[in-house]
């Protein structure tokens, strides 16, 4: 199988295809595919769905995907890798973890909010103008436009997540404990049971019972599992060293992360990364 590589952090490409298919291939980068005109079928990991104009697709590095062109199609590709992501503000990257953690890798348009479709179309048009006109600062402006598109993608994915649970006997304000954990996962001092209970103005005992009843895992188990999922993301999509990941996510040290990861995943982080790299090699 063809393996495509990206030799720079960020790339934009326009391509028009008539009858020839875009054969099945894999990437070592992320790709957004916008359909400007035309129709056909998109295949991702053996799942097929029709495509048409104004659709936006997100393709992850591990995905095997292809397009069968039925009607002459104008594709607009936005490609970026982990080097591009690492050069963005930390807070921005943390927001994008909605993409990494919740994308289901199925084919189909990523835009679920109808109001976002004309917005993305206008942003793609602006990208094309910047590429054609080549005015001063066009590269910086193009990057900002791409970042905006990525945030729209993240918003659409997050909008498909289940509604947060609500606290029994209280007002309609949601007891969004999961959101609080995700938002503060890089601040261990805010993830103590007493701190969370205080934030939601409930007792630590009630918090523990409520969380276990609604999520299956204990509060600490969920926090650990979520951190390890973020570790997987970094091992899969970045070149960060294990020690750097341990520091970022609040593990005591690299040895602590190794022990926890092996306990839950059966292998240490380095072995896990090596297995992923072997899976991404072309057949």
Domain with 222 in it: what CATH number?
Answer: 1.10.10.60
User: What is the token pair recorded at 156?
Assistant: 């659409």
Q: Which residues face 65 on adjacent strands?
A: 25, 44
Q: Tell me whether residue 103 is in a domain.
A: yes
Whole-number pLDDT of residue 220? 92
- Residues 138, 190 within the same domain: no
Show the domain range for 133.
2-159
pLDDT for 166 equals 42
Per-residue pLDDT, 98: 63
> Among residues 95, 128, 159, which one ends one of the domains?
159
Quick one: pLDDT at residue 1? 52
Count of structural domains, the chain: 2
pLDDT at 243: 94
Which pair of structure tokens corresponds to residue 182? 């995700």
Give the pLDDT of residue 193: 93
Same domain? For 142 and 183 the reply is no
**Domain annotation covers residue 171:** no
**Mean pLDDT, the chain cut into blocks of 10 residues (283 residues total):** 65 82 71 92 80 90 82 91 73 67 66 92 94 89 90 81 46 57 86 92 88 85 90 80 90 94 92 79 53
Specify whether the CB–CB gap between 3 and 56 falls below 8 A: no
For residues 22 and 57, state if they share a domain.
yes
Answer yes or no: do 38 and 123 share one domain.
yes
DSSP 101-158: HH----SS-S---TTHHHHHHHHHHHHHHHHHH--TTHHHHHHHHHHHHHHHHHHHHH
Let me know whether 15 and 75 are in one domain: yes
pLDDT of residue 37: 93
Q: What pLDDT, on the 0 to 100 scale, is given for residue 198?
A: 92
82, 238 contact by CB (below 8 A): yes
């Amino acid at each position: 199988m063809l393996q495509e590589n990206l030799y720079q952090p960020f790339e934009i490409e326009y391509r028009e295809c008539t009858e020839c298919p875009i054969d099945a291939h894999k990437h070592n980068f992320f790709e957004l595919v916008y359909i400007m005109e035309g129709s056909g079928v998109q295949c991702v990991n053996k799942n097929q769905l029709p495509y048409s104009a104004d659709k936006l697709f997100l393709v992850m590095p591990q995905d095997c995907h292809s397009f069968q062109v039925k009607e002459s199609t104008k594709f607009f590709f936005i490609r970026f890798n982990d080097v591009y992501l690492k050069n963005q503000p930390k807070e921005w990257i943390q927001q994008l973890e909605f993409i990494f953690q919740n994308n289901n890798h199925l084919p189909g348009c990523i835009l679920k909010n109808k109001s976002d479709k004309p917005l993305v179309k206008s942003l793609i048009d602006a990208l094309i103008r910047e590429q054609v006109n080549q005015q001063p600062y066009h590269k910086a402006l193009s990057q900002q436009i791409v970042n905006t598109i990525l945030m729209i993608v993240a918003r659409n994915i997050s909008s498909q997540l289940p509604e947060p649970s609500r606290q029994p006997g209280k007002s309609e304000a949601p007891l969004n404990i999961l959101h609080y954990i995700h938002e503060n996962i890089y601040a261990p001092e805010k993830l103590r049971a007493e701190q969370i209970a205080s934030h939601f103005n409930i007792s630590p005992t009630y918090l523990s019972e409520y969380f276990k009843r609604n999520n299956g895992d204990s509060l600490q188990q969920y926090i650990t599992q979520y951190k390890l999922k973020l570790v997987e993301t970094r091992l899969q999509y970045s070149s960060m060293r294990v020690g750097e990941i341990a520091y970022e996510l609040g593990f005591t040290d690299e040895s602590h992360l190794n022990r926890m990861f092996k306990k839950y995943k059966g292998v240490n982080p380095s072995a896990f990364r090596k297995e992923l790299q072997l899976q991404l090699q072309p057949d």
